[in-house]
Amino acid sequence: MDQLLKEYTNQLCVQIDYGLGYIMISAPPNQEEMYVICGRTGVGAEEIIEKVEGVTISGQVYQANGWEVRSAGETLDMHNEFFRVELEDGTVFEYGASTHNEATYEDYLMKTKPILQRILNSYKSLD
């Protein structure tokens, strides 16, 4: 771990929290979560609906694979979603709703998801 931190600092996985959602960025050296887990690790026993959506990153449209997670209720701790997309260089993005028990899935869709998509579109690689 000391060698990894020396070579890559602590930037193998970065999380951005905004409003009712988040974006996690896993750097190319961490492909297939080789060094650290970056993103959700499971969803539990809820109803899971697979989803696909287009997302623009650095001006290019990518296919993001995702899941809508539903349980008994509409608050974000019971009903939320998350998506993953991988760029050609191995950078992986995961974005979606954070779990909150006071906001609803609809709140996330209206107030936060459009901003998360704008943040993704503004991404620029340092290479």
pLDDT of residue 27: 77
Identify the CATH number of the domain defined by range 2-39+46-121: 3.40.1000
Amino acid present at 66: G
pTM of the model: 0.83
pLDDT tens figures, 72-113: 888 998 899 999 999 998 889 999 999 888 899 999 999 999
Going from N- to C-terminal start, the domains of the chain cover 2-39+46-121
CA distance 9 to 27: 11
